[in-house]
Amino acid sequence: MDSARLRLAARGLAWPLYAIFFVSGCAGLVYQVMWTRSFGLVFGSTTRAAAVVLAAFFLGMAAGNRVGARLAAAPRDTALRRYAWAELAIAASALLVLAWLRLYHEIFPVLYRATEGLPAQLTALQLALTAAALGPPCLAMGATLPLMARAVVARDEHLGRRLGFAYAVNTAGGVIGVLLSGFWLPVAIGVRGASLLAAGLNLAAALAALAWARGLGEEPAPRSPEPAATRGEPTRGGVANASAWLAAASGLGTLALEVLYTRLLVTAMDSSVFSFALVLATFLVSLALGSLLASATLDRLRSPWLLVAAGASLGAIAILASPWLLVRAWESAPTLPGVGGPLGAAVLLLPISFLVMGPPALLVGTLLPAAWRAGARHAAEAGTVVGRLTSLNTLAGVVGSLLAGFLLIPALGASRGILLVAALYALLGAVAVLQLGRSAAARAAALGVALGFAALAGLRSWEIVPLRLAPGERLLRLEEGEGATVSLTERTRGEVRVRTLSLNGRYVLGASSGVLVHRSQGELALALHGEPREVAFIGVATGMSASAIRSHPSVQRAVALELFPGVLKLAREFREENAGVFEDPRVEFVLADGRNHLFGTDRRFDVIVGDLFVPWHAGTGYLYTEEHFANVRERLADGGVFVQWLQIDQLSVAELRTLATTFGDVFEDAELWLNQTQPSRPLLGLVGHRGRPASRPQPEKIGAMIRVCGAPVLRAWSASAPRNTDDFPRIEFSAASSHLTRTAAETRAVLAAIRQLGVDQAR
C-alpha cells in the first residue's frame, strides 16, 4: 500500500495536495472571522478598528508570501515538507493569539486612556499590537501558497491548470470556513473553540503533507524549449514587470470591490451576521469559479494576456451593470413567509448576491492566476513566482480595501466607487490588449475597449441611491460613512411632516413624532437615581434620549457615545425635538464604540443608559453579553443606575429569558420595567443598581413606565436559559435567525410572558 502511494506521488498525482490545501483554506477563514471578532472586543467594533485587524492580517500574509517564495526554490518534496512545517507553525502561533488577547484585555484600558483624544496614535498602537499577535500565524499562512504551488506543479504544462485549480480549491475551503463561522461555530463551540478547531485542521493538514511528501519528486518529462503559453511574449524582464503590475492592480481592484459590494448588499439586506457571511461566501465562490476558468483555459491559450484582456474588459462591464441589477433584483425579490433561520437567509439573499456579485467577481478572479502564468515559465519556479506576485497582490489589496472604506465611500459614495473600480479594470483590459502586440490593430483594439467602457459608463447604470424610499417619502440628507449609510427622510402624515433618521435605509433610529418615548428612555434611569451628576448614554440616535438631562439640573456632565459619524451629523437636524442638547455645554458627544469606551475609561457614572439596539446587527449582540454588563457595573458609581432598553417586537421569549438571566448574573437586584409611553410599541427596560440608591428617586418623572418585577421573580423565570457571553454570542445569532419570520403572535407571546411576570410579582 505504501509503495503504491509512492508510485502515485512520483507520477505527480495532485488530488491529495488539493485536499490538504482545501482544509488549510477552511482553517484560514475561520481564523480571520474569529480574530476579527475577538480583537473587536478589545479595540472596539468601529470600522477603523476592524480595518486595523484586517490590515495586520494581510500584511502578515504578504510577508509570508515573500518568505514562501524563497523557501519554494527547492525540489517538490522539500517544498511540501516545508509546507507541513508552515501549517504546524500556524497552529502553534494561533494558539498563542488567545494568550495575546488575554494580555491585551488587561493592558488596553491603560493604553486607551493614554491616547484618549489622539485617534492617530490610538490607531497606530492598535496596529502594532495586532501585528505583534497576528504576525507569526499570518506569516506562516502566507508561506503556504507558494510552497503548495511548488509542490503541486510537476511539469511545465501544469503551470496554468494546477496553479489555478489549487487556488480555486483553497478559496473553496475558505468559503466553508466563512459559512461555518458565520452560521454555526460561535454558538456551537464558542469563539475560542472555533480557533482551536482551526488549529486542529492545520495540524491535520501538516501531518497529511508530511506523509505525502515521502517519495514526491519531479515527474520525468521532456522540457519543451519554450512553453506554449509564453511564445511571442516580451522579454523576460518585460514579462516580470507586466505580471507584477497585473497582480498589484488585481489585488487593489478585487479588495476594493469586495468592500463596496459588502456595503451595498448588506445595506440592502438586514446587516446581520448571516448577511455578512453570505456576501463574503458568494464573493469567494465567484473568485474560485474564476480561478477554475483560468485553470481550464490558460495552458491552451497562445498567451495568458488573452485571458486578462477578456476577463478585465468583460469584468468592467459586469461591474458597471451590477448596481442596476441590485436595484431591480431587490425590487422584484419575493417574500417567503415561514422560511426563517439560516436556510431562510440563504434562500432570500443568495440569489441576489450571486446575480449582483457573481459575474464581476468570476471575471476578475481570472486575473491573478493569469498573472502567475505570465510570470512563470517553468515548473521549478512556480512557487517563487506565485509567492512574489501574491505578495504584491495582497499588499495592493490592503490599500484597495482601505481606500474603498475610508475614502471612496465617505467622499464619493458606493456607486461612484464602483464606477472607479470598473474604470480600473477597463484600463487593465486595454493594457492587456497592448501586451499582445504593438501593432496598429492592437492599439485600435485597446482604444476600442476604452471608448466602449466610456460609452457604457455614460448610461449611468451604476448611479443608484443606496436606500429604498417608501411611497411619499422624500430624501433630505444622506451620509455614506465608513461604517454605515445614515439618511434623513421626510413624509407627510395628514398635515404633519414627520422626519425620520434611519440606518442603512432600513432601521429607524428616531422620528420627529416620537419625542416622548425617546426622551422617556433617558428619563427612567435619571429619575430612579434622583440626583445624578455624571451620566453616560450608549447611543445617540436623534439625541432625544440624552435631552432628558434638560429636566435634571443636578447633571453636571454627560457623555453621549455614538459609533457612526453620520448619526452625529444628521441628529443636529432634530434640534427642536432634542431640546438643543447638542448645544448644551454639559454634554460631550464622543465618536466611539460605547462598549469599548466604557471598557477603556476610568471614569464612573451615576447613570448609564443603553439605547435601543437592533440585536441581529453584526456585532451588536456584544452589547448584551455578561462581560459588557460587568464592565458597565464597574463603571457605575456607588448607588449608580443602569438601564438597558429592549424592543419587544425584536425579541422572542427565549431570547428575552437569555438576556434577563445574563443581566441578572451581573446585577443581583435586576428589575424589569415596561415603558408604555407609546402603547403601540411598548419597550422593556432591564434595570440594575450598584449598591443602595445614593439619593431619593423622583417617581413623578417616571410617567407611563411601570416596574414589572424584581430580581427574585425575574431570576426564577429565566435561570435555566443559556447565558449570552463574548465567547458564545447567542443573541446575535438567535436574533439573526428569528427576526426573519417573527410574527405578531410571537410579539403577543412576549407581552403575555411579561404580564405573567407582573402577576407573579404581585403574589
Are the C-beta atoms of 261 and 356 separated by less than 8 Å?
A: yes
Confidence check: pLDDT of 149 > 60: yes
- Which CA distances in Å does 109 have to 100, 113, 115? 15, 6, 10
Residue 10: predicted pLDDT:
41
Cα gap 81→9, rounded to integer Å: 14
Across the range 666-685, mean pLDDT stands at 93
Confidence check: pLDDT of 342 > 90: no
Cell output for 430: 486595454
Chain segment 393-427, per-residue pLDDT in tens: 999 999 999 999 999 999 999 999 999 999 999 99
Strand partners, 486: 479, 503
- Residue 155's CB is within 10 A of a number of other CB atoms, namely 19
Confidence check: pLDDT of 219 > 70: no
* SS3 assignment for 79-113: HHHHHHHHHHHHHHHHHHHHHHHHHHHHHHHHHHH
Homologous superfamily (CATH) of 517-762 is: Vaccinia Virus protein VP39 (3.40.50.150)
Positive or negative, the CA dihedral 261, 264, 268, 272 is positive
Which pLDDT band holds residue 64 (cuts at 50, 70, 90)? very high
Chain segment 537-560, per-residue pLDDT in tens: 999 999 999 999 999 999 999 999
- Lay out the sheet containing 474-480: strands in order across: 474-480, 485-493, 496-503, 507-511
Across the range 260-265, mean pLDDT stands at 88
The lowest-confidence range among 108-122, 396-410, 417-431, 654-668 is 108-122
Task: Give 307's contacts (C-beta < 8 A, 6+ positions apart).
Answer: 294, 297, 298, 301, 366, 370
Q: Is 62 left (phi over 0), alpha (psi -120 to 50) or beta?
A: alpha
User: Residue 720: phi, psi to the nearest 5?
Assistant: -85, -5
Residue 291: predicted pLDDT:
95
Span between the terminal Cα atoms of the chain, in Å? 76
What does 552-590 look like in DSSP terms, one character per residue? -TT--EEEEEES-HHHHHHGGGGTTTTTTGGG-TTEEEE
Cell output for 33: 472571522
Torsion over CA of 594, 595, 596 and 598, rounded to 10 degrees?
80
Chain segment 97-106, per-residue pLDDT in tens: 999 999 999 9
Torsion over CA of 50, 56, 61 and 63, rounded to 10 degrees?
160
Which pLDDT band holds residue 698 (cuts at 50, 70, 90)? confident
Share of the chain above pLDDT 90, in %: 65
Residue 6: predicted pLDDT:
45
Are the C-beta atoms of 433 and 309 separated by less than 8 Å?
A: yes
Q: Which amino acid is at 719?
A: A
Task: Give 507's contacts (C-beta < 8 A, 6+ positions apart).
Answer: 271, 614, 617
Closest CA to 230 of 156, 153, 163: 156
Helix, strand or coil for residue 725? coil
Residue 49: predicted pLDDT:
84
Which pLDDT band holds residue 228 (cuts at 50, 70, 90)? very low
Residue 22: predicted pLDDT:
97
Cell output for 542: 436623534
Confidence check: pLDDT of 517 > 90: yes
Would you list the domain boundaries of the chain? 1-217, 235-465, 517-762
Which pLDDT band holds residue 364 (cuts at 50, 70, 90)? very high
Give 741 or 512, the one with higher predicted confidence. 512
Chain segment 179-216, per-residue pLDDT in tens: 999 999 999 999 999 999 999 999 999 999 999 887 67
Cα gap 551→286, rounded to integer Å: 57
Residue 1: predicted pLDDT:
42
Are the C-beta atoms of 558 and 578 separated by less than 8 Å?
A: no
The lowest-confidence range among 10-14, 56-60, 142-146, 165-169 is 10-14
Cell output for 253: 481592484
Which stretch, 238-242, 278-282, 456-460, 642-646, has highest mean pLDDT? 642-646
User: Residue 103: phi, psi to the nearest 5?
Assistant: -65, -45
Residue 227: predicted pLDDT:
45
Across the range 312-337, mean pLDDT stands at 80
- Lay out the sheet containing 534-538: strands in order across: 587-591, 557-562, 534-538, 605-610, 636-647, 683-690, 671-675, 705-709
Are the C-beta atoms of 729 and 622 separated by less than 8 Å?
A: yes
Across the range 145-173, mean pLDDT stands at 90
How large is the angle between the packed helices 382-403 and 119-152, nearest 10 degrees?
A: 150
If you average pLDDT over every residue of the chain, what do you get? 89
Task: Give 49's contacts (C-beta < 8 A, 6+ positions apart).
Answer: 39, 40, 43, 126, 593, 596
Cα gap 397→311, rounded to integer Å: 18
CATH number of this structure's domain 235-465, picked from the four choices 1.10.760.10, 3.40.50.300, 3.40.50.620, 1.20.1250.20: 1.20.1250.20
Q: How far is CA 305 from the centre of its chain?
A: 34
Length of the chain, in residues = 763
Domains 1-217 and 517-762 share a fold: no
Cα gap 709→731, rounded to integer Å: 23
Homologous superfamily (CATH) of 1-217 is: MFS general substrate transporter like domains (1.20.1250.20)
Cα gap 720→658, rounded to integer Å: 9
Give 352 or 150, the one with higher predicted confidence. 150
Cell output for 681: 410599541
Across the range 347-366, mean pLDDT stands at 87
Residue 689: predicted pLDDT:
95
Residue 231: predicted pLDDT:
41
